[in-house]
Amino acid sequence: MTALPFRLTLSTTLALGLLALPAAAAELRVGLITPPSHQWTQTAQDIAADLAERSAGEITLVVLPSGQLGSEAQMLQQLQSGSLDFGMFTLGEFANRNADYGVFLAPFIATDTAAARALLRGDVAQELLGGFRQFGLHGLAFGMAGLREIVTATPTETAADLKGQKIRTVPLAPELDFWTLLGATPTPMPLPELYNAFANGQVDGMQIDYEGTWNAGYWEHAGEVIASDHMMFPMAAVASARGWAQLGPEAQALVAEVFATRIDAMVEGYGEIDSRYRAEIEAAGVPVREVGRDWFEPAVSAWYDTWRAKTPLLARLEAEAATIDDTDTGTDTGTDTGADTGAKQ
């Protein structure tokens, strides 16, 4: 770790003038909890390549995956102190401090990945990006890791069967509320511990995406996958506000554009990614049960009642979701459950 927010190295490339400080090139770092194979990390690598190319080598972005800088809570502190430059994080650290940042976790707010993409680029998203200042950060873009499904050790006929089951979640208030309202026992657990915990029966199931289910091998111990698409799993790309101030306007514009473009491309790709990994799981012989919003009721309606009271931003996101239809999103991802969003209540 260094004292300066952005490590400044002497460079011969003075001409671009990308930095606020003259005669320097920047070596920047981005921290993530996802492993090298995950889309978030791959996208961070693409961002690093684009920045190197478009700044003629003046900006180097070092990608630090797999939580090697610590948990997201620890990396948030590093961003606030300026010893880390960027993070690509789940919304856990933000939603647990300010309920506004929980709204993207609203169950069935997006009927498919294309609708999720529209919301992640919408007005509420822009406002939330601006609000990252309250955390000592500069918001760059929202992404996601596709839609959430449920992987269980044994088949689940009705949502009532989930009562009392230990379901692995992330420690995010909106997710925890959803599972508590279903009568399950939400069990927060970091991803690296999950394979063994599921294999050994320490948890009965998990809320997860198709990508992780396949790549991490959770499917090997699955009795069933419940294809629910019940939530998106958002990601926030953020910069240290202290470090951001060290960049000149040109560098800021370049970094902002590259992050936004690459992250949007990743989000757009999730329709195909989710479909592809689901096909792999089905081909491996794991039974898949299709369910929609009704299957989870009355828990979904109760969730909306709780969260509308927590944040007025939810009603605004619902209104935005109500304006998004298949014609707006223009893509049929094959993952639409046909379930109503909360917005249509």
Q: Report yes or no: 239 and 255 within 8 Å, Cβ to Cβ.
A: yes
Complex with ligand BEZ: residue 103 or 231, whichever CB lies closer:
231
Strand runs (DSSP E) across 222-339, as ranges?
224-227, 232-240, 288-290
In the list 30, 59, 124, 191, the residue contacting ligand BEZ (rule: CB under 6 A) is 191
Complex with ligand BEZ: residue 76 or 170, whichever CB lies closer:
170
How many CA atoms within 13 Å lie on the side-chain side of 223? 10
In the list 24, 116, 128, 208, the residue contacting ligand BEZ (rule: CB under 6 A) is 208
Complex with ligand BEZ: residue 167 or 251, whichever CB lies closer:
167
Complex with ligand BEZ: residue 167 or 343, whichever CB lies closer:
167
User: Cα 135 from chain centroid?
Assistant: 18
Q: Tokens 């069935």 appear where?
A: 108
Query: What character string, x for contact with ligand BEZ (CB under 6 A) and - otherwise, covers 164-183?
Result: ------x-------------
Residue 272 CB, shortest distance to ligand BEZ, in Å, is 17
Q: Is 34 in the site for ligand BEZ (CB under 6 A)?
A: yes
Q: Is 234 in the site for ligand BEZ (CB under 6 A)?
A: no
CA-based nearest residue to 339, from 113, 111, 159: 111
Complex with ligand BEZ: residue 58 or 274, whichever CB lies closer:
274
Complex with ligand BEZ: residue 78 or 90, whichever CB lies closer:
90
Hey, is 80 helix, strand or coil? Answer: helix
CB atoms within 10 A of CB 134: 12
Complex with ligand BEZ: residue 115 or 151, whichever CB lies closer:
151
Residue 276 CB, shortest distance to ligand BEZ, in Å, is 16
Hey, is 77 helix, strand or coil? Answer: helix
Q: Is 145 in the site for ligand BEZ (CB under 6 A)?
A: yes
Complex with ligand BEZ: residue 91 or 181, whichever CB lies closer:
91
Give the separation between CA 257 and CA 47, rounded to whole angstroms: 10
Instruction: Give exposure, 221-244, as e/b (b: 16+ Cβ within 10 Å).
Output: ebebbbbbbbbbbbbbbbbbbbbb
Residue 198 CB, shortest distance to ligand BEZ, in Å, is 13
Q: Is 212 in the site for ligand BEZ (CB under 6 A)?
A: yes
Q: Is 109 in the site for ligand BEZ (CB under 6 A)?
A: no
Q: Which residue is nearest to ligand BEZ (CB)?
A: 145
In the list 43, 83, 90, 165, the residue contacting ligand BEZ (rule: CB under 6 A) is 90
Instruction: Give exposure, 310-338, as e/b (b: 16+ Cβ within 10 Å).
Output: bbebbebbbebbeebeeeebeeebebbbe
Residue 236 CB, shortest distance to ligand BEZ, in Å, is 12
Ordered DSSP codes for 184-205: -EEEE--HHHHHHHHHTTSSSE
Residue 215 CB, shortest distance to ligand BEZ, in Å, is 10
How many binding residues for ligand BEZ (CB under 6 A)? Answer: 8
Q: Is 95 in the site for ligand BEZ (CB under 6 A)?
A: no
Q: Report yes or no: 108 and 339 within 8 Å, Cβ to Cβ.
A: yes
Q: What are the beta bridge partners of residue 9?
A: 25
List contacts with ligand BEZ (CB under 6 A): 34, 90, 145, 170, 191, 208, 212, 233
